[in-house]
Structure 1
Amino acid sequence: MDESDIDDQSRDARWALHERAAGQHGVVSQQDLTDAGLGESQRRWQLDSGRLQRVAPRVYRISGSPDTREQRLTIGLLSLGVRSWVSYEAAATLHGMDRSDPDAVEFTIERGRRPTRLPWQVHTTKFVAANDTVVVDGFRVTSATRTVLDLAHARATRQRVEAAFDSAVRMGLSHPQVLASRLATLRGSGRWGVALIERILPDSGGHSPLERTFLRIVREAELPRPVTQSVQRSTTGRHVARVDFLFAEHRMVVEVTGRLGHVSDAERSRDAQRRNELQDLGFVVIEYTSTQIWNHPNWVRTDLIRRLRSTPNRLA
């Protein structure tokens, strides 16, 4: 069978195959070849001519398609099958978590299955709950909460796990109560990382390392824990501000800022309006800078205690 015969017989099949590959970052599975209607001889010709390249068991790349991280993730999921998920650092990157590795390619499959031989790390797990997996940008991926647990299991540093979780909270992908609930099911399991999660939970709820550090200062001072990311509205229901911390009984708002250098006139104007509107609602508004919180935590603690005690609802 010469090339012209192959082209005549497989034109529709090749079109269908390329349509499929276009939605899969330039790669197709063995099943995709079958679904497109390529017979065995046509498949061999595609491979022999270099139009298809075998890149993993049961997975092929369309020649000339760019080698991207997304393509590698697709190759892994197609080769490992439907009970496989992008996980660990690769999942953290897909979720957009802080400090993630943009080049990571990692997968998880259920324990007991024989993993496909791939050039990337494939983890195994005994149990995957229904809420442990989601779809992000078309990829099967472990949920944000499960990803945080996996990072702790992989012995990532405390700072790495905190950054992942705080950013997940900021993006609305997880919540301290959700992580605490999941942790309760893991206690006593012997799973590595449980102790680390227990350590990071008490100061969770903020959106950044700076907010986490402030919550630790509050906890260590044995002060009442403030409400984090509290939305304040005017008497007419208009949104006024989302504040970092609210000591509700004291009608006190605490903002923490990591700004460096000068801010623009427009930013200063917005900040002033925001502060004025919060004060109109009856709040005392104070601000601590990143330098104060990180370099002078004892002063922040002393100052916060003094300010709380000076409000109408004094601390006991």
Structure 2
Amino acid sequence: MSRPPAPLPSGLGRVFSTSRAMSAGATADRLRASDLHAPTSGVRSTRSDSQSVEAMARAYALVLPQPFVFSHHTAARIHGLPVPHPWDPSERLHVTRPSGTPLVVRAGVRSHRGLERRDTELVDSLAVTDPLETWADLGPELAEDDLLAIADALLARDLARPKDLERAAADRRTRGAVALRRCAMLARPGSASPWESKARYAFLTWGLPEPELNMDVLGPDGRWLARPDFLWRERRVVGEYDGDQHRTDRSQWQYERERRARLEDAGYTYVEMTSLSLVSQRHRHALRARLVRLLRE
């Protein structure tokens, strides 16, 4: 039976630089032991440390040259903004340094310059571009509907005002600036999820009237009926984006059926949509045709 590794020097914590560990008395052999993970050269973490973007950023922060902040996708994830894909530990961390300083050359890092032109803040001791700057930095990186989803989230969480979005978009002169300016005009605080934002973006690109978002619908007797995701009040049409929880949660599924019946009994046309309605070409065309018929004919 193999012997367990010797205890590490006290006070190192769950993530630490190898230089600090060796100064505290750890040997090179001990730092190669199987109970430790090497997130990047010169850093070790305990195997129990979570493989989250925050954990990875803390590890890299120990060896990155100052000054720097985490930016772009990395900052968006740390802020909890709705970037389109879930975190993957193989994803490179985005780091921004001042103009005139060397780019970071390290595996797992994508380096940028321009720190002196960006507003920054600390999130749980991690230096990051602030949410508004992060959104603007993503202008060249994301599709327009994904940029709109983040802009909506900034408004909904009171992290920005419409005029802040407009100013940040106007300040950018790089690729993606036109998309940022469009999204600044289209952003609304009432959107409750990224997929709702992406659906609304589709409606607008199809030339449909802009819906009210998450507004109460009352029956003829003043009784509350529902608060649908999308409401075209004059045409008596409501739209609902159903995520996976609507399919997997039986009580949620039952509630949706009852709500739909209430709305249809009151004379509203109910339009149900899912992610497939937006990503499948066939389903997207079908949704567009139905909404055009209901709202424009």
TM-score by length of 1: 0.61
Report the counterpart of residue 271 of structure 1 in structure 2: 256
Letter in 1 for 2:138: L
Pair 1:27–1:244, CA change in 2 (3 A): same
Report the counterpart of residue 43 of structure 1 in structure 2: 23
Q: Percent identity?
A: 14
Deviation per CA, 1:267-316: give whole Å up to 9, x if none. 44312443566689x8946324354971131341121235xxxxxxxxxx
Does structure 2 conserve the Cα–Cα contact (< 8 Å) formed by 1:110 and 1:125? yes
Indicate the SS of the match to 2:138: helix
| 2:130 is aligned with 1:147 | no
Pair 1:286–1:127, CA change in 2 (3 A): farther
Measure, in 2, the Cα distance between the counterparts of 1:215 and 1:14.
55
| 2:76 is aligned with 1:87 | no
Deviation per CA, 1:245-268: give whole Å up to 9, x if none. 2345x3846223356997776344
Measure, in 1, the Cα distance between the counterparts of 2:185 and 2:226.
25
Indicate the SS of the match to 2:60: helix
Q: Which residue among 164, 173, 185 is the counterpart of 2:171? A: 185
Report which of the two structures shows the higher radius of gyration computed on alpha carbons.
1
Structure having the higher helix fraction is 1
Measure, in 2, the Cα distance between the counterparts of 1:273 and 1:80.
55
Deviation per CA, 1:98-129: give whole Å up to 9, x if none. 32452322211222334554322221115444
**1:1-316 superposed matches below 5 A:** 14-15=9-10, 17-18=11-12, 21-22=13-14, 26-28=15-17, 33=20, 43=23, 45-47=25-27, 50-51=30-31, 60-61=43-44, 68=51, 70-80=54-64, 83-94=67-78, 95=80, 97-103=83-89, 104=91, 105-115=93-103, 117-119=105-107, 120-130=109-119, 132-135=120-123, 138-153=125-140, 156-158=141-143, 162-163=145-146, 165-166=148-149, 169-170=152-153, 172-173=156-157, 177=162, 178-186=164-172, 190-201=173-184, 203-205=186-188, 206=191, 207-209=193-195, 211-218=197-204, 220-221=206-207, 223=209, 225-230=210-215, 241-247=226-232, 250=234, 252=236, 254-258=238-242, 266-275=251-260, 284=268, 286-290=270-274, 291=277, 294-296=284-286, 297-306=288-297
Indicate the SS of the match to 2:215: strand
Letter in 1 for 2:207: A
Compute the RMSD of aligned alpha carbons.
4.7
Measure, in 2, the Cα distance between the counterparts of 1:295 and 1:232.
28
Pair 1:165–1:226, CA change in 2 (3 A): closer
Measure, in 2, the Cα distance between the counterparts of 1:276 and 1:97.
35
Deviation per CA, 1:161-190: give whole Å up to 9, x if none. 53354156358456682433311233xxx3
Letter in 2 for 1:87: S
Letter in 2 for 1:86: F
Does structure 1 conserve the Cα–Cα contact (< 8 Å) formed by 2:121 and 2:127? yes
Pair 1:166–1:215, CA change in 2 (3 A): closer
Letter in 1 for 2:203: I
Measure, in 1, the Cα distance between the counterparts of 2:45 and 2:251.
51
Stretches of structure 2 that go unaligned for 5 or more consecutive residues are 1-6
Deviation larger for 106-115 or 290-299: 290-299
Letter in 2 for 1:27: F
Indicate the SS of the match to 1:230: coil
Measure, in 2, the Cα distance between the counterparts of 1:295 and 1:78.
50
Measure, in 2, the Cα distance between the counterparts of 1:263 and 1:168.
29
1:193 CA drift (Å): 1.5
> How many residues get paired?
265
